[in-house]
Amino acid sequence: MNKGLQTRSRGFFKQKPILRLVVALVALFSLVQLFSKYPHATLLNNTPQATVGKVMMVYGNNPVYERAIETHKEHCRRLGYPLFILRREVLDGVWNKLAYLTSLIVQELEKPEDERLEWLYWIDSDTILMNPNMRLETFLPPPHLANVHILLSRDWNGMNAGVFPIRVHPWSIELLSAAIGYPYTNPEKTLAWAEQTAMVKLLAEHEYFAQSAVYVPLRWFNAYMRSPDGESLNTDSDEYLQVHPGDLLVHFPGTPAENFNNTLSPYLAIAEQHRSEWERPLEKTGYAKETARFWRKYGVKHGFELPSVPHVQEISHASQA
C-alpha cells in the first residue's frame, strides 16, 4: 500500500472509533460464519459424552508436524477427547487461531447445555504429547470457581499462548472477539507477538477480562524442551520451565524452521516408544496434589467457598474408570 494512503487510512480510523468497532464486528461475524462451514471434530473412540476438546491447526505436509499431531490423536483415542484440526489457512497466519476458537465456541453454545463441551484446549502444532494418560481435566478449576474462564502461563517473555484452556462461555467469545478486533480498534498500537500481544493488552486494560483469567505454572500444560536429546534437564535453562517425565506435553516455541525437524525428532522418538517413565498415571505425577493445592489457595484468596468433595478426587476417580 502507498505510504501516504496507509497513513491517511490509519488517521481516518483513529478519528472514527465507532466505525472501527463496526468494521471489527462485521469482520468477526463474517469469520464465524466462514469457520462454521469447516468440518467438525475428529472423534477417535466411542466413549461417553466428553466435556473437554482439543483444538489445533496445521498446514502443509511436513511429516514432523504430522507425527506430532499423531501423538495428540493417541491421547484423544485413550481418553475420549474430540480433536478439532484446522488444515486450511483462512486468515493471515496466527489470527486463524482465535477466529477458529471463536467459531467452535459459538457452535458449542448453540447446542443444548447437556450436549456441549465445557472447555476447549488450544494447542499449537509445535507440541508433542508426552503422557497420554494425563487427563486434561486435571488442570481445570473446580466447579465452584465458575468465574475462571481461561488459564494462561508465562515464560521469560511474559504470557505464552501456545497452549491454553478456555471455557465454552459467552465471556470467551467476548475476549477472543476483542483480540481479533484489536488491530482495528487500536491501530496506533504495536502488536509485537500478534494475537498473543493483543490478549495481553486486553487483560491489562480491562478488569472484566483480567478477573476471569488465571496464570498457572507453565509445566502444567505448556512445558518447554529440556536437553536436545530429551533424556536430561538442560542446565542452562530454568528447571521449572522444562518438561519432566509424566508431564502432559512439550512445546517448542521459537524453533527456527531449519532446525525444526532435528529439534523435535528426539522427543517424538520418546513419545512413540511409549516409555512407562513418561506415561505415568495421574497419581504418580504429583499433579493431583499440586493442582488441588493451587486451586484451594486461589479460592481462599478470592473468597470462594470450598466444595465438600475435592475436585482432584473426582478427576482421580475418572482416570481410573
DSSP state, 127?
E
Domain 3-320 sits in CATH at 3.90.550.10
DSSP state, 61?
-
pLDDT value of position 11? 40
Which residue pairs from 35-38 have beta carbons closer than 8 angstroms and sit at least 24 positions apart in sequence?
35/90, 35/99, 35/100, 35/102, 35/103, 35/104, 36/103, 36/106, 36/107, 38/86, 38/88, 38/100, 38/103
C-alpha cell at 45: 473412540
pLDDT value of position 187? 82
The C-alpha atoms of residue 80 and residue 230 are separated, in whole angstroms, by 28
pLDDT value of position 257? 85
Q: Average per-residue pLDDT in the chain?
A: 85
Give mean pLDDT, residues 224-247: 96
Q: Is the pLDDT of residue 249 over 70?
A: yes
Q: pLDDT, tens digit, for every residue of 184-220?
A: 888 888 777 788 899 999 999 999 999 999 999 999 9
The dihedrals phi and psi of 250, each to the nearest 5 degrees, come to -130, 135
Per-position b or e across 109-130, b if 16+ CB within 10 A of its CB: eeeeeeeebbbbbbbbbbbbbb
pLDDT value of position 33? 55
pTM: 0.84
- Among 16-25, 82-91, 107-116, 135-144, the minimum mean pLDDT is found in 16-25
pLDDT class of 48 with cuts at 50, 70, 90: low
Contact of 110 with 173, CB cutoff 8 Å: no
Domain ranges of the chain: 3-320
Residue in 168, 143, 139 with CA at minimum distance from that of residue 153: 139
The C-alpha atoms of residue 245 and residue 260 are separated, in whole angstroms, by 22
pLDDT value of position 318? 52
C-alpha cell at 96: 486463524
Report the alpha-carbon angle 218-294-53, nearest 5: 60
Give mean pLDDT, residues 119-145: 97
pLDDT value of position 119? 98
pLDDT class of 153 with cuts at 50, 70, 90: very high
Cα–Cα separations (whole angstroms), residue 230 to 16, 128, 224, 248, 271: 53, 12, 11, 14, 10
Q: Is the pLDDT of residue 24 over 80?
A: no
Give mean pLDDT, residues 21-33: 52
> Which segments of the chain does DSSP mark as H helices, in order?
3-15, 17-36, 63-79, 95-109, 170-185, 195-205, 207-210, 260-273, 287-301, 311-320
pLDDT value of position 4? 39
DSSP H or E stretch at residue 158: strand 158-160
The dihedrals phi and psi of 278, each to the nearest 5 degrees, come to -95, -35
Q: pLDDT, tens digit, for every residue of 55-88?
A: 999 987 889 999 999 999 999 999 999 999 998 8
Contact of 267 with 131, CB cutoff 8 Å: no
